Amino acid sequence: MSQLSDPTAPLTPSGNLRRRLIFSNLTEGGATLAAAAAVGVLGIIVFAVIQRGAGAISWDFITKDPPQFGGPGGGIADAIVGTGELILIATLIAMPVGVLVALYVTEFAGPRATQILTLALDLMNGLPTIVVGVFVYGLMVVGVGQSGFAGGVALSIVMLPLIARATQEVLRRVPGTLREAAEALGVSHWRTVIGVILPTAAGGIVTGTVLALARAAGETAPLILTTSIYANTVQLNPFGHALPNIPTTIFALSESNDPSGFQRAWGASLLLLGFILIVNITARTIVARSKASLTR
Amino acid sequence: VSALTPQATRARTRARLRTVDLAANRALRGLCIGAAILTIAVIGDAGYQIISGASLSIGKLGPAFLWHAEWNPPFNKFGAFAMIYGSAVTGFMALALALPIGLAIGLYLALLGPSRVAVFVGPLVEMLAAVPSVILGFWGIIVLGPFIQGTVEPFLNSVLGFIPLFGAPQTTGLSLFTAGLVLTMMILPIIASLSRDLFRTVPQDLQDGAAALGATRWEVIRGVVLPTTASGIAAAAVLALGRALGEAIAVAQVIGAGNAIHGANLFNTGITLSSRIALTFSDAVDKLNTSAFFYLALILLVTGVGTNLTAGWIQRRFAYQPAR
């Protein structure tokens, strides 16, 4: 270069570089805006549910059955109890199966079996939940009628892949040295699994299960065909008849055009959403903490 | 060192383990294999149940079911075309909206945003996925629908009215458009969190190299980050589309349960495969009607499995391979 650049030239970029920087900043701003929009949507939904649902919630709302012949008053005690039962059934089925499947993959399976199982779990996870409902309808409802148990089974199919995958992740993170130590001491395989591997992974397995449970608690589609036509009273026996539950209650009330029904649906939504968000936040905080303590 | 034959080693091991331990080892193995077989059997049985439930209608209606638009159970008219149309329109609308926004969120969380903020925003975005679809749909009926009808429809019609998609505003906010928006909210967190994880895997060296050559942050993203993750992004998009096509409840609540295709206008009511099942399965008038619902479920099952396999295939086939 024969010429020295002008020392008084401004240091701010100009021309092409200026254009490129402006464009870059614009895209960064767009990304920030997108993130803000997603959080905003969540905020709007949660706010709407709290604003409209808070008025509906009272002691009676939680402890009383809905009025037999429609109209205002009463609560959704039947649905709260029923949803509790459904989740319990689903967890009792999905948790042992999910944990055992994950153990199979990490302890016993060869690469081929692992591949097949991973595919099966992916497909199960990708199954539209309404298809799960139709499947369980064909399996357990046709000819017999709806039952709470069928609803629980349908929810367990939703939970199983979530639990299996979460468990697999934790089992993989169990330090190999623990297993080697157990093996060096001559501990048999099953004792290693029950006494060393599972206890080490227990926290993660429970968190994974609780997150899956929170997901299942809000699922409506699998229940709509399996346990949606019920008497509005608290029922403890899940066999032989449908169980009232919160998601199908909200669905039915939202489809009917009745203001007092809407009011009840907002209250039920607030209870359900509150439960799910609190469980999610708690579980995630615990996971974050345990990860932080592992990397320290 | 005396070399032990494999038989001798096994004999020693056997002696060391008590019979109880051996039995328990076998039992644990058996239980695990049993659970694995059960999982695979459930998937297989789901396919079997749905195909056998649909066999009556497959026999009577044949493949014409897919392109007949009329659905009128009392007159034994069963056609899925209006539902396939509705599913496709709402699904692709949701994908078209959620893909760019979701990728932008993924970029923000993984690369652009300050990590102190991203730590909070990430879980919040995922929390959006935790909102049950029935609550999202109920909110869609009461809050979003009227807003769409009163504000968004007239606005879009006046600005983009020359496109047939944004036709005359309707009397209700329950429409294909509203359903597409609700689906957007449901698949947005999926795309955002999948793409965030993808963007985090982009080698820092490549990004630093581009930046050292004078690339702006956007040029680093455009030139390095997006190309290296393209296959993953495509897979995530396919997975999210599968989710959108399968979603039943929220769509059933806000789509207005139309029965036919009313022109191209998105502000009209419509119906999708899954919402048809959710809304009227229990009203089935006869065996053929129920079987037709199983036929719809079969279409959904095939799309669900298809999108999943396609996503996996894309990821394997087009995965970014660093040059050696």
pLDDT tens-digit readout, B26-77: 999 999 999 999 999 999 999 999 999 999 999 988 888 888 888 888 888 8
Q: Which chain A residue shows the shortest CA-CA distance from B52? A: A138
The answer to whether A229 faces chain B, any CB pair under 8 Å, is yes
Q: Which chain A residue shows the shortest CA-CA distance from B239? A: A126
Quote the Cα angle for A283-A285-A287, to 5°: 70
Cα distances (angstroms) measured from residue A99 to each of A59, A134, A183, A194, B28: 38, 26, 22, 12, 12
What pLDDT is attached to residue B2? Answer: 58
Cα distances (angstroms) measured from residue A191 to each of A2, A244, B31: 81, 42, 15
Q: Which chain A residue shows the shortest CA-CA distance from B279? A: A224
Count CB pairs under 8 A between chains A and B.
Answer: 268
Token pair recorded at residue B28: 């644990």
Q: Chain B contacts of A21, Cβ < 8 Å?
A: 216
In the predicted model, what is the mean pLDDT of chain B? 89
Task: Provide the percentage of residues in chain B whose pLDDT is more than 90.
Answer: 61
pLDDT tens digits for range A62-112? 888 887 766 667 788 889 999 999 999 999 999 999 999 999 999 898 899
Quote the Cα angle for A43-B175-A274, to 5°: 25
Query: Three-state DSSP class for B72?
Result: strand
User: How many CB atoms are located within 10 Å of the residue A281 CB?
Assistant: 14
Radius of gyration in angstroms for the set of CA atoms belonging to chain B, rounded to a whole number: 26
B218: nearest CB among A24, A221, A228: A24
A63 with A80: CB under 8 angstroms? no
A86 with A151: CB under 8 angstroms? yes
Buried b (16+ CB within 10 A) or exposed e, B17-32: beeeeeebbeebbebb
Q: What is the mean pLDDT of each run of 10 residues along chain A (296 residues)?
A: 65 82 93 94 95 88 79 81 94 96 92 92 93 93 89 95 94 90 88 91 91 93 90 84 91 85 91 94 84 59
Q: How far apart are CA A265 and CA A247, in angstroms?
A: 9
The answer to whether A283 faces chain B, any CB pair under 8 Å, is no
| Residue B3: pLDDT over 70 | no
* Mutation choice for A interface testing from B174, B249, B305 by most A CBs within 10 A: B249
User: How many CB atoms are located within 10 Å of the residue A296 CB?
Assistant: 5
> Three-state SS across A48-90?
HHHHHHHHHCCHHHHHCCCCCCCCCCCCCHHHHHHHHHHHHHH
Q: Do A31 and B104 touch (CB under 8 A)?
A: yes
pLDDT tens digits for range B167-213? 777 778 889 999 999 999 999 999 999 999 999 999 999 999 999 99
Q: How far apart are CA A121 and CA A118, in angstroms?
A: 5
The answer to whether A287 faces chain B, any CB pair under 8 Å, is no
User: How many CB atoms are located within 10 Å of the residue B213 CB?
Assistant: 10
Residue A89 corresponds to which amino acid?
A: I
Q: Do B218 and A218 touch (CB under 8 A)?
A: no
Q: How far apart are CA A228 and CA B248, in angstroms?
A: 15
Q: How far apart are CA A221 and CA B241, in angstroms?
A: 18
B40: nearest CB among A21, A120, A190: A120
Q: Chain B contacts of A269, Cβ < 8 Å?
A: 134-135, 138-139
A108: nearest CB among B32, B40, B109: B32
Q: How far apart are CA B241 and CA B92, in angstroms?
A: 7
The answer to whether A278 faces chain B, any CB pair under 8 Å, is no
Cα distances (angstroms) measured from residue A204 to each of A95, A155, A170, B125: 13, 21, 6, 22
Query: Three-state DSSP class for B318?
Result: coil
User: How many CB atoms are located within 10 Å of the residue A277 CB?
Assistant: 17
The answer to whether A62 faces chain B, any CB pair under 8 Å, is no
Residues 6+ apart with CB under 8 A from B32: A100, A101, A103, A104, A107, A108
Lowest mean pLDDT among B135-144, B241-250, B259-268, B272-281: B259-268
Q: At what angle do helices A198-217 and A259-295 cross, to 10 degrees?
A: 160
B300: nearest CB among A39, A131, A215: A131
* Mutation choice for B interface testing from A83, A123, A132, A134 by most B CBs within 10 A: A134
